[in-house]
Amino acid sequence: MRLVHGSEEGRRLLARLRRPLGEAELPAAVRREIGRVFGPDLRVQTAQAVVDRILADVREGGDAAVVRYNEQIDGVQPAAGLSLKVSSQEMEAAYGQVDEEVVDALRFAADRIRAYHRKQLDHALAGFDEGGLGQVVRPLERVGMYVPGTVAVYPSSVLMTAIPARVAGVAEVYMATPAAADGSISPLKLVAADIAGVDGVFRAGGAQAIAALAFGSETIPRVDKICGPGNIFVTLAKKAVQGQVGIDGIFGPTETLVVADDSADPALCAADLLAQAEHDALASPILITASEALAKAVMREIEQQLESLERREVANASLEGQGAVIVADTLEEALALANEYAPEHLSLAVSDGERYLGQVANAGSVFVGGLSAEAVGDYTAGPSHVMPTGGSARFSSPLGVYDFLKVTSVVSLDEAALAELGPAAAVIARAEGFTAHARAIERRLEGADG
């Protein structure tokens, strides 16, 4: 884990750690896999080319193409006759395969998420009608969510995506997720989907899932918006279909930045950074402090706590690859660096944290004070844990009910309003060379005068 001193050195390090999503060279193993699936076609040697091929094939071939890529890429070889759609019997059977304690915890989390987003909805449904001008706010009709993972599964992400959509009033919510080799879906995902009110779950992974949700197939409905994170192929597929459908955002590896002063508990700071690091080898755990003593104490704690983690190899790779400890000159400079980095998660491990909250300009979510563990936000606090990454917190927000609402402007003019607005509109129309626009206005004005 890197240790640097001073704001300028810290700024340079943070810039180097930012890895833009792009066409970096694919690992040799991935290139070999591409060759196995697509043959020796040298044009299909980049992630974007792979995605473009899959999108075109699914758009043309529907279910058959999805099944083929499920088998060729994910190794899915389900029993004959097994549908892409998970049956109601499979959904019901999943409850018998999940510990009752876990089911209860998922229901508790769902209640918390639902309650939070109902409060959010109260502020989002701000329609108005004043003098014939206004807006109406309506939910989207159909949303698709992608949930990655077969080895590591994320039932919490199912809740965090589907429940805000349901609270917003979306009529149909569907989930696509990769299946295991035998075609089964993790019962944890199925239970979470049922608790969240998902209308249908489909066995589809990777870019083929995004294609099916975007274009529709014989079994998988075409949706209005696609939500959820995934690997480079999923992310590039979402970018490619944006415009034909809506997307929630372009997500990169997860990140947590802890700003701490000398009042912080080094053991808790280390625990928060390790909680981030165990997500993914590309996750970013970063500490910024003005205390040299705290910085060194946190680094010692990380070494000690790392040894007892089940996912210590993943966590260690994250710490070595993207981990950083920056000793800034002042706490204010530490906060300025945090704002420039715009992290997904920002933990304020400082005394009088509420005072410094007002200085936070860019973050997906802020965790104020030593007791506000970011890990609680991942599961049961209430706000969705689907948040902007890669610095996009500068201009993006966490997933919420507003992601599933759309605004329609309304213009309903009476004679007085037409008389007030029409003449200037006609003048502008003629200045732009749009005679028909002007005449459409002027005919109404003449009729109103008559």
Mean pLDDT of 426-433: 96
Decide if 389 is inside a domain.
no
Please enumerate in sequence order all residues whose Cβ is within 8 A of that of 32, keeping only pairs 6 or more positions apart, or say none: none
242/256 same-domain check: no
Instruction: Kindly report the backbone phi and psi dihedral angles of residue 377, in degrees, each rounded to the nearest multiple of 5, phi listed first.
Output: -65, -30
Query: What pLDDT, on the 0 to 100 scale, is given for residue 21?
Result: 59
Name the band, by pLDDT with cuts 50, 70 and 90, for residue 20.
Answer: low
What average pLDDT does this structure show over 377-401? 94
Domain boundary among 200, 230, 251: 251
Same domain membership, residue 433 and residue 333: no
Q: Which two tokens stand for residue 249?
A: 């955002």
Handedness of CA 333, 339, 340, 345 (dihedral sign): positive
Mean pLDDT, residues 94-107: 97
**Nearest C-alpha neighbor of 382 from the set 72, 159, 101, 74:** 159
Does 272 have pLDDT greater than 70? yes
Position 395 in a domain = no
Is the domain of 211 the same as that of 266?
A: no
pLDDT attached to residue 23? 47
Structure tokens at 255: 């990140």
CATH number at residue 200: 3.40.50.1980
Q: Give per-residue pLDDT as tens, 40-95.
A: 664 566 788 889 999 999 999 999 999 999 998 888 987 767 899 999 999 999 99
Which residues are within 8 A (CB) of 150 and not within 5 positions of it... i.e. 6 or more apart? 74, 178, 179, 180, 186, 205
The span from the CA of 238 to the CA of 374, in Å, is: 27
pLDDT value at 107 more than 50: yes
* Banded model confidence at residue 26, pLDDT cuts 50, 70, 90: low
Instruction: Give the model's pLDDT for residue 45.
Output: 67
In 3-state terms, the chain is what percent helix, strand and coil (to 5)?
50, 15, 35
Amino acid 131: pLDDT: 75
Residue at 106 is within a domain: yes
Q: Give yes or no for residue 129 having a pLDDT over 70.
A: yes
Kindly state whether residues 267 and 238 are assigned to the same domain. Answer: no
279 domain residue, yes or no: yes
Q: Predicted confidence band at 152 (pLDDT cuts at 50, 70, 90)?
A: confident
Confidence of residue 32 (pLDDT cuts 50, 70, 90): confident
Beta-strand relationship, 246-247 and 255-260: unpaired
Mean model confidence pLDDT for the chain: 91
- Specify the number of domains making up the chain: 3
Residue 230 and residue 120 share a domain: yes
Note whether residue 179 is domain-resident.
Answer: yes
Q: What is the mean pLDDT of residues 168-187?
A: 95
Side by side, the strands of the sheet bearing 2-5 are 2-5, 324-327, 284-289, 255-260, 345-349, 365-368
- The DSSP string of 96-107 is GGS-HHHHHHHH
Do 287 and 318 have their domain in common? yes
Are 270 and 156 in the same domain? no
Q: Which residues are catalytic?
A: 344-345
- 408 forms beta bridges with 136
10 and 32 share a domain?
no
Q: Is residue 399 part of a domain?
A: no
Among 213, 236, 251, give the residue marking a domain's end. Answer: 251
| Statement to judge: residues 9 and 31 lie in one domain | no
In eight-state DSSP terms, residue 242 is B
The band of 352, judged by pLDDT with boundaries at 50, 70 and 90, is confident
Q: What is the mean pLDDT of residues 27-44?
A: 69
Any domain includes 144: yes
Is 201:185 a contact under the CB 8 Å cutoff? yes
User: Quick one: 351 and 272 in the same domain?
Assistant: yes
Please indicate, yes or no, whether residues 180 and 141 belong to a single structural domain of this protein: yes
Residues 376 and 421 in one domain: no
Confidence check: pLDDT of 309 > 50: yes
Is 226 among the domain residues? yes
Using pLDDT thresholds of 50, 70 and 90, give the confidence band for residue 122.
Answer: confident
* Distant-in-sequence, close-in-space partners of 382: CB < 8 Å, separation ≥ 6: 112, 113, 115, 116, 117
Q: Is residue 180 predicted with pLDDT exceeding 80? A: yes
pLDDT in tens, 213-267: 999 999 999 999 999 988 888 999 999 999 999 999 888 888 999 999 999 999 9
For residue 133, the model assigns a pLDDT of 85
Q: Which domain holds residue 316?
A: 2-19+252-381
Which tokens go with 299?
A: 């680094």
* Region class of 106: left (phi > 0), else alpha (psi between -120 and 50), else beta: alpha
pLDDT greater than 70 at residue 3: yes
- Domain end residue (candidates: 251, 274, 297): 251
Confidence tier at 209 by pLDDT (50, 70, 90): very high
Q: Which residue has the higher pLDDT, 261 or 27?
A: 261
